[in-house]
């Protein structure tokens, strides 16, 4: 009897040990995370290389708690993502707003990217030279309809001194940019001879520029969400990619990545209640049962 009990006891202890290690490793998804700072990160976005969709990983990554959006013109900050409407608000640290104005860099969005500007954006060029090609009457680059209201509002901000203009300066150096529509976008400040730009995506109280919402509103293409990814997510995993081919990988909470889903990876799915503890209890239960059976 003791010759039989010993190997069973050893098996029992080793299973217990494995389960507790798994439980301790717990909630991390290997290199992937479902939040970045305060921003929930869901497919097609990922927090780092190997997470989310490979096409999106080139543009968006998490860096020290900040979700960053990169284009050829710079690195911007993602301030919010609305998944149901596929809208991302990004802010450019060098962009002006009513409380802070400074010289800005250019902004561009490449044609190949899965992002497009939404119609909510109103790009405004500030501190432009009066000889700028923007003011060429034969080109019509500035929207004269809304221009005076928006420009006067921005030039009433105290921070306008940051771009070398007095408060309430004449608006002849300001332009509400009527950009050429379509995919791809480029705001080349040196070429347009302007010192700064801003983008307003929501006015709120129209008369009060301190209440306007500044940022660039983008929409992303969500045609990358596949059944394989849905299957992975419903098993508690995060979708990612692996290998030279950047092929689909499902990253499980125990750090293992699979080509399918996370069933059998410590965290089988049941509305989030399949905790490792329950699984450990089941294994212990089976062991106790075996033990009891073999003892007779
Ligand atoms: C995921 O993000 C949270 C909050 O930012 C952090 O506490 C946690 O350590 C991260 N996990 C991993 C595996 O990076
Ligand atoms: C997926 O697994 C491979 C091999 O184990 C590893 O190199 C890679 O970092 C993993 N990816 C993630 C996102 O954890
Ligand atoms: C204005 O811009 C500054 C500098 O980029 C930023 O720190 C601040 O949060 C912005 N404020 C608003 C209201 O957008
Ligand atoms: C979204 O991406 C798919 C797949 O790459 C592409 O076929 C489609 O044209 C894109 N849609 C838009 C609106 O760009």
Q: How many CA atoms lie within 13 A of 129 on its CB side?
A: 8
Q: Can you read off the two tokens belonging to residue 89?
A: 């608000």
Cα–Cα distance measured from residue 137 to residue 55, given in angstroms and rounded to the nearest whole number: 41
Based on its alpha-carbon atoms, the radius of gyration of the chain, rounded to whole angstroms, reads 28
Write the CA distances from 78 to 43, 57, 95, 144, 216, integer angstroms: 15, 14, 14, 31, 9
User: Which H/E stretch holds residue 172?
Assistant: none
Mean pLDDT value across residues 115-134: 93
Q: Which atom of ligand 4 is nearest to the CA of 55?
A: 5
Residue 22, pLDDT > 90, answer no
For residue 273, give every residue at least 6 positions away whose Cβ sits within 8 Å of its Cβ, in sequence order, or none. Answer: none
Give the residue, by CA position, lying nearest to ligand 1 atom 3: 35
Question: Is residue 154 within 8 Å of 198, Cβ to Cβ?
Answer: yes
Question: Is residue 219 within 8 Å of 183, Cβ to Cβ?
Answer: no
Residue range 23-72, pLDDT digits in tens: 333 344 567 999 999 999 999 999 999 999 999 999 999 999 999 999 99
For residue 275, give every residue at least 6 positions away whose Cβ sits within 8 Å of its Cβ, in sequence order, or none. Answer: 267
For residue 15, give every residue at least 6 positions away whose Cβ sits within 8 Å of its Cβ, in sequence order, or none. Answer: 283, 284, 287
Does ligand 3 lie within 6 Å of residue 93's CB atom?
yes
Residue 287, pLDDT > 80, answer no
Q: Which residue among 100, 107, 201 has the greatest number of ligand 3 atoms within 8 angstroms of its CB, and so is best to mutate?
A: 100
**Residue for token pair 């993602």:** 78
Q: Is 210 exposed, middle or buried (0-12, 13-18, 19+ CB in 10 A)?
A: middle
Calculate how far, in angstroms, residue 221's C-alpha sits from the geometric centre of ligand 4.
Answer: 6
**Residue for token pair 């309430």:** 168
Q: Which atom of ligand 4 is nearest to the CA of 116?
A: 14
Q: Alpha helices, DSSP H only, in the chain? A: 2-25, 54-57, 144-155, 189-192, 227-234, 276-295
Residue range 248-257, pLDDT digits in tens: 999 998 888 8
Write down the pLDDT at residue 6: 61
Q: Which residue has the higher pLDDT, 125 or 148?
A: 125
Q: What are phi and psi of 70, to 5 degrees?
A: -115, 140
pTM assigned to the model? 0.78
Domain edges within the chain: 2-32+225-295, 86-220
Question: Is residue 10 within 8 Å of 292, Cβ to Cβ?
Answer: no
Q: Which atom of ligand 3 is nearest to the CA of 210?
A: 13
Calculate how far, in angstroms, residue 215's C-alpha sits from the geometric centre of ligand 3.
Answer: 9
Secondary structure of residue 162 in the 3-state scheme: helix
Cα–Cα distance measured from residue 219 to residue 202, given in angstroms and rounded to the nearest whole number: 15
Secondary structure of residue 232 in the 3-state scheme: helix
Question: Is residue 110 within 8 Å of 71, Cβ to Cβ?
Answer: yes
Write down the pLDDT at residue 291: 63
Residue 130, pLDDT > 80, answer yes
From the CA of 33, which ligand is nearest? 1
Pocket of ligand 4 (CB under 6 A): 221, 223
Q: Which residue among 24, 26, 31, 35 has the greatest number of ligand 1 atoms within 8 angstroms of its CB, and so is best to mutate?
A: 35
Q: Which atom of ligand 4 is nearest to the CA of 114?
A: 14
From the CA of 31, which ligand is nearest? 2
Does ligand 3 lie within 6 Å of residue 102's CB atom?
no
């Amino acid at each position: 009897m003791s010759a039989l009990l010993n190997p069973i006891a050893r098996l029992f202890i080793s299973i217990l040990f494995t389960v507790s290690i798994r439980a301790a490793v717990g909630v991390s998804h290997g290199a992937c995370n479902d939040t970045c700072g305060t921003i929930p990160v869901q497919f097609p976005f990922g927090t780092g290389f190997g997470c989310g969709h490979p096409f999106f990983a080139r543009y968006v990554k998490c860096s020290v708690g900040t979700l960053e959006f990169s284009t050829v013109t710079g690195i911007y900050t993602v301030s919010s993502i609305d998944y149901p409407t596929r809208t991302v608000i990004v802010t450019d640290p060098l962009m002006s707003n009513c409380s802070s104005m400074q010289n800005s860099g250019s902004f561009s969005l490449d044609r190949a990217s899965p992002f497009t500007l939404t119609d909510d954006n109103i790009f405004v060029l500030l501190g432009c030279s009066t000889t700028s090609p923007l003011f060429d009457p034969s080109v019509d680059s500035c929207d004269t309809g809304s221009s005076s209201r928006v420009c006067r509002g921005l030039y009433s901000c105290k921070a306008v001194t940051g771009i070398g203009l007095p408060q309430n300066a004449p608006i002849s150096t300001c332009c509400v940019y009527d950009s050429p529509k379509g995919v791809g976008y480029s705001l080349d400040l040196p070429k347009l001879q302007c010192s700064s730009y801003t983008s307003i995506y929501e006015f709120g109280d129209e008369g009060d520029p301190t209440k306007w919402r500044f940022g660039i509103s983008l929409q992303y293409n969500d045609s990358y969400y596949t059944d394989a990814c849905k299957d992975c997510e419903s098993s508690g995993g995060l979708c990612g990619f692996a290998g030279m081919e950047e092929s689909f990988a499902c990253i499980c909470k125990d750090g293992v990545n699979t080509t399918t889903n996370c069933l059998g990876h410590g965290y089988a799915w049941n509305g989030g209640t399949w905790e490792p503890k329950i699984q450990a209890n089941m294994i212990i239960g089976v062991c106790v049962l075996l033990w009891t059976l073999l003892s007779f």
